[in-house]
Structure 1
Amino acid sequence: MKDTIFLIGFMGAGKSTVAKCLEQNYGRRIVEMDEQIEAREQMPVSRIFEEKGEEYFRGLETELLKELGEEENLVVSCGGGAPLRPCNVEIMKKNGRVVFLTARPETVYERVKDSHNRPLLEKNKNVSYIEKLMEERKERYEAAADYLVPTDGRTGEEICREIMKKIQEGCR
């Protein structure tokens, strides 16, 4: 098995923060999937959704994951919807470990309330909608995950240490 760490979870769960910590402390190269896709398409994710649709965007995620499978020692911050496609989960599991970062809906709201680059939340930025969407995705996130790590009220450092400990010990 390759050693890439794939961070999955709802938007605002802390994937980017944890990825930076894993890069700094464990020498892994970060790949922010949404940033890579934006650079390739030369437009923000919100515009890709608007002009080309969610299905098109999800296809771009799958293609990028296939490419990343050829590399090693990465930490990949996946878009919130990446693990919703079974083929994406298969690619991630084949090429590394999948870490599901969890957060309460209230925590997610606090982290994303001032952001305008989350197209699925833009017109529904409230705790009840976030909770509903999280609940819809929870089962698939859990099925995809090798490890579950809560992020509420914790620093990036604490979360990184827990991830690396779980991977080294091989526990879920």
Structure 2
Amino acid sequence: MMGAGKTTIGRELARRCDMRFVDCDHEIEARTGVKIPTIFEIEGEEGFRRRETQVIDELTRVKGVVIATGGGAVLDPANRAMLAERGVIVYLNVPPQVLWERTRNDRNRPLLQVPNPREHIATLYRQRDPLYREIADIIVDGGRGNPGGTVRQIQKALETCEK
């Protein structure tokens, strides 16, 4: 989910594992030369999701990379299949209230530009949580502690993960 810490945790995990880190949203922005809200404005969510699937397809074929997907990537069954088949999936499970606190002042998130963003986050969480769990190899409860502790939890889980 947006605000779960995917970029912060992913970047630190990649550093500790001596791997490359890629944030899918940042990759899309680099390729298009515009910010995500501009893509949503011009192409809508459907256009953005097409671009997201293309980037996920390419990045999941690369070895030695930690990828942070956008929170809505799991909505597409093709994305879920690519992610599940090609990598170890970590779900950063953060309660909706914490997600709201982390994102409420961020005007760069198109899906939060709605009349009641707090309720929208809760709705997105209810919709997406089962999909994240469906493909997750590792589930880490987030929202508490510091990023370093979360990364240590993931590293410990990766030691026992068979994939």
2:115 aligned with 1:88, yes or no?
no
Matches within 5 A, 1:1-172: 10-124=1-115, 126-170=117-161
Structure 1 residue 73: Cα displacement? 1.2
Unaligned runs of 5+ in 2: none
Q: Tell me the SS of whatever aligns to 1:75.
A: strand
- Partners of 1:23 and 1:30 within 8 A in 2: yes
Superposed displacement of residue 124, structure 1:
4.3
Provide the TM-score with structure 1 as the length reference.
0.88
Structure with the bigger RCO (C-alpha within 8 Å, sep 6+) is: 1
How far does residue 23 in structure 1 lie from its aligned partner after superposition?
A: 2.3
Following superposition, the deviation at residue 16 of structure 1 comes to 0.8
How far apart are the structure 1 equivalents of 2:123 and 2:90?
22
Instruction: Name stretches of at least 5 consecutive residues in structure 1 with no aligned partner.
Output: 1-9
1:84·1:141 contact (CA, 8 Å) conserved in 2?
Answer: no
Q: Measure the CA separation in 2 of the matches of 1:125 and 1:15.
A: 24
- Normalising by the residue count of structure 2, what TM-score does the alignment of the two structures yield? 0.93
Query: Contact 2:37 / 2:110 at 8 angstroms: preserved in 1?
Result: yes
For 2:116 and 2:11, the matched residues in 1 are separated by: 26
- 1:98-135 CA-to-partner distances (Å, cap 9, x unmatched) read 11111111111111112111100122464322112211
Tell me if the contact between 2:137 and 2:161 (Cα under 8 Å) persists in the aligned partners.
Answer: no
Specify which structure has the higher proportion of helix: 2
TM superposition shift of 1:39: 1.3
The percentage of counterpart residues that share the same residue type is: 34
Between the aligned partners of 2:125 and 2:104, the Cα distance in structure 1 is 16
User: What is the SS of the residue equivalent to 1:53?
Assistant: helix
Paired residues in the alignment total 162
Q: Name the aligned partner's letter for residue 103 of structure 1.
A: V
Instruction: Return the alpha-carbon distance in structure 1 between the equivalents of residues 150 and 39 of structure 2.
Output: 31
- Deviation by residue 1:63-102 (Cα, 9 ceiling, x = unmatched): 1111112211111010011111111111112221011111
